[in-house]
């Protein structure tokens, strides 16, 4: 086969136009129909509930870690009498409640659900599904499109978690550290008051 410039030019033009079309579609804004379809889809699919569950799991793990640390500290507090230990436990519980409430609010600022939809989930879903398919999944999860959703969900979840870790883990650690530092400082002051009757 010999190179034929006459045939190569149309191929190059078609290739360029195809590349240009897909490149322009990658950064295109969603139409109001598409945005409405995604909002309805995420509402029907329980995405907000999943976000709340994820947040609850994170806060539960945080609370367990802090609780274990406090329990260990109390076991090693031989110089305190039982009344002092009881007061410290009560203060710790107050502090933990306040810390969890503050941390939940901080996470809401750092990683609001609406931002996750806009910056993580909608772009991922739009790479895997056409808007018509999202509408079908929303309408009825047991259609062939619904089965496609079920099979694609694990890879999309993996992509989401990777991006969440890349984009939010540092801010979440910093928020947790700020909240914990503030509460631990307060708690230390209260413990010092108890130690000095």
Q: What's the angle, vertex CA 54, arms to CA 143 and CA 116, rounded to 5?
A: 70
Q: What is the mean pLDDT of residues 68-73?
A: 72
Mean pLDDT for the chain?
76
- Which of 48-62, 81-95, 112-126, 158-172 comes out lowest in average pLDDT? 48-62
Closest CA to 128 of 154, 150, 149, 147: 149
Confidence band of 14 (pLDDT split at 50, 70, 90): very low
Confidence band of 23 (pLDDT split at 50, 70, 90): very low
Name the more confident of 33 and 140: 33
Confidence band of 18 (pLDDT split at 50, 70, 90): very low
Q: How far apart are CA 141 and CA 163, in angstroms?
A: 26
Q: What are the structure tokens assigned to 128, written together?
A: 């895997």
21-30, 129-138, 150-159 — most confident range: 129-138
Name the more confident of 1 and 66: 66
Closest CA to 157 of 107, 120, 110: 120
Cβ distance 103 to 175 under 8 Å? yes
Name the more confident of 30 and 175: 175
> Does the model's pTM come out above 0.85?
no
Provide the 8-state DSSP code for 29.
P
Q: How far apart are CA 37 and CA 35, in angstroms?
A: 5
What Rg value do the Cα atoms of the chain yield, rounded? 26
């Amino acid at each position: 086969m010999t190179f034929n410039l006459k045939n190569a030019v149309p191929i190059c033009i078609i290739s360029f136009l195809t590349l240009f079309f897909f490149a322009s579609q990658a950064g295109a804004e969603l139409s109001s129909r598409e945005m409405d379809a995604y909002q309805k889809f995420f509402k029907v699919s329980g995405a907000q509930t999943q976000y709340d569950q994820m947040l609850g799991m994170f806060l539960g793990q945080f609370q367990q870690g802090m609780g274990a640390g406090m329990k260990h500290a109390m076991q090693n507090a031989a110089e305190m009498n039982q009344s002092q230990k009881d007061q410290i436990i009560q203060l710790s519980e107050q502090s933990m409640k306040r810390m969890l409430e503050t941390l939940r609010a901080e996470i809401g600022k750092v990683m609001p659900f609406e931002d996750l939809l806009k910056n993580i989930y909608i772009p991922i879903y739009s790479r895997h599904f056409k808007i018509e398919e999202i509408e079908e999944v929303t309408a009825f999860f047991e259609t062939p499109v619904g089965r496609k959703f079920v099979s694609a969900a694990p890879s999309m979840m993996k992509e989401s978690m990777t991006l969440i870790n890349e984009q939010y883990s540092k801010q979440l650690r910093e928020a947790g550290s700020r909240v914990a530092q503030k509460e631990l400082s307060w708690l230390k002051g209260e413990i010092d008051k108890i130690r000095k009757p």
